[in-house]
Amino acid sequence: MEIDILDRNNFSLDWATVLFTITFATIVITRITFPNRFEDFIKLAFSNKYLSTYRDSNNMKSGFTISMFFVQMVSLSLFVHYIISLAGFSNLNYFPTYLRILSILLFFVLVKYFVEKIIAVCFNMEEFAEQYNLVKVSYRSYLGLLLLPVVAILFYNRFSFDYFIWVVSGVFVLFNTILFILLLKSYQKVFSQFLFYFILYLCTFEIAPYVILYNWFVFSKT
């Protein structure tokens, strides 16, 4: 794997620096505003206390959840932007490309959320759907929090694409596998009641996007 420090004379990443600063500041403000909740949140990988304490569906719209969702979206969109630039489809310093990526991700997440809400109403399982989404948002926001400093380092370095993309794919598959194992363990009784819905949801919203993204990368490189 080749690593080279980017020449600041050739790449203008001032917009990314500002965005990183805003995002890290959001984390600091959230830590100060919600000290106890933040402390439980950073232990999410090792303890179930956060999910047990804040499992009420009203927490989905809380300031803490929204702040961490913002961190998640910034981390993921910057990461996707980095991968696309690494593959040669765009320049790393091109801000309009990043805005398009962020817009697409937000659109996908919001559409996915509202479709899930509609399905939940049809199956009379709104409360479960809210709790399920809260758990997903919590774990993925946690991943976004961990991903942010990594992306900050990546933005000022170059890596070999072929090697790096397999590492990234492996990490995402592993994380999502662990996430669904934890979800199945927590909600196995409910899943058994709505098995068809869960399989349909899993194939449509959780597996298909990664398959499409993988195929896009593979065919675009050939």
Provide the token pair at 19.
């965005």
- For 140-186, how does the pLDDT look when each residue is reduced to its tens digit (9 = 90+)? 898 889 889 888 888 877 666 556 666 766 776 777 677 667 666 66
Rounded to an integer, what distance in angstroms lies between the CA atom of residue 16 and that of residue 99? Answer: 11
- For 55-77, how does the pLDDT look when each residue is reduced to its tens digit (9 = 90+)? 777 777 889 999 999 999 999 89
- Nearest alpha carbon to residue 30 among 112, 148, 135, 110: 148
Whole-structure pTM value: 0.77
Rounded to an integer, what distance in angstroms lies between the CA atom of residue 162 and that of residue 69? Answer: 30
pLDDT confidence band for 1 (50 / 70 / 90): very low
